[in-house]
Amino acid sequence: MKNLANMMKQAQEMQGKMAEMQARLELMVVEGQSGGGMVKVALSGKSDLRRVTIDPSLMTADDREVLEDLLLAAHADAKQKVEAAMAQEMQAATAGLNLPAGMKLPF
């Protein structure tokens, strides 16, 4: 019975830490870039697009395909950074909890 009470306590702690993590991720803004910084994309910690910045020199009809590729690359860069930040937040949220081996969060 003591073990069950301990598990319930850990579950409540985890719930609180997860809520804090979600709040931090929502406030976080991560920037990805491509083309040596000529295209920048900012995403929230939840991967919502916040801002796109394009160097004016790319605003020609001849560079349309290049610009499209740079936008995709900047978005991929930002998304990778968001995922890394989420993994770091998750690790911090689960630190000290005795979770079963192989258990991945969020469920």
pLDDT digits (tens, 9 = 90+) for 47-66: 899 999 999 988 887 888 89
Spatial separation of the C-alpha atoms in residues 93 and 74, rounded to whole Å: 28
Q: Tell which residue, 34, 29, 37, 35, has the closest CA to residue 81.
A: 29
Residue 19 belongs to some domain of the structure: no
Q: Which of the two residues, 37 and 14, has the higher pLDDT score?
A: 37
| Residue 44 lies in domain | 26-93
Tokens 């590729």 appear where? 69
Residue 20 belongs to some domain of the structure: no
Backbone angles phi, psi at 81, to 5 degrees: -70, -40
CATH code: domain of residue 48: 3.30.1310.10
Tally of domains within the chain: 1
Q: What would the mean pLDDT of 81-102 be, rounded to a whole number?
A: 76
Q: What would the mean pLDDT of 2-27 be, rounded to a whole number?
A: 82
DSSP, res 5: H
pLDDT above 90 as % of the chain: 39
Of 9-18, 31-40, 84-93, 98-107, the poorest mean pLDDT is in 98-107
Residue 4 belongs to some domain of the structure: no
Residue 60 belongs to some domain of the structure: yes
Residue 34 belongs to some domain of the structure: yes
Helix axes 64-94, 2-27, angle to 10 degrees: 150
Q: Kindly report the pTM of this predicted structure.
A: 0.71
Residue 39 belongs to some domain of the structure: yes
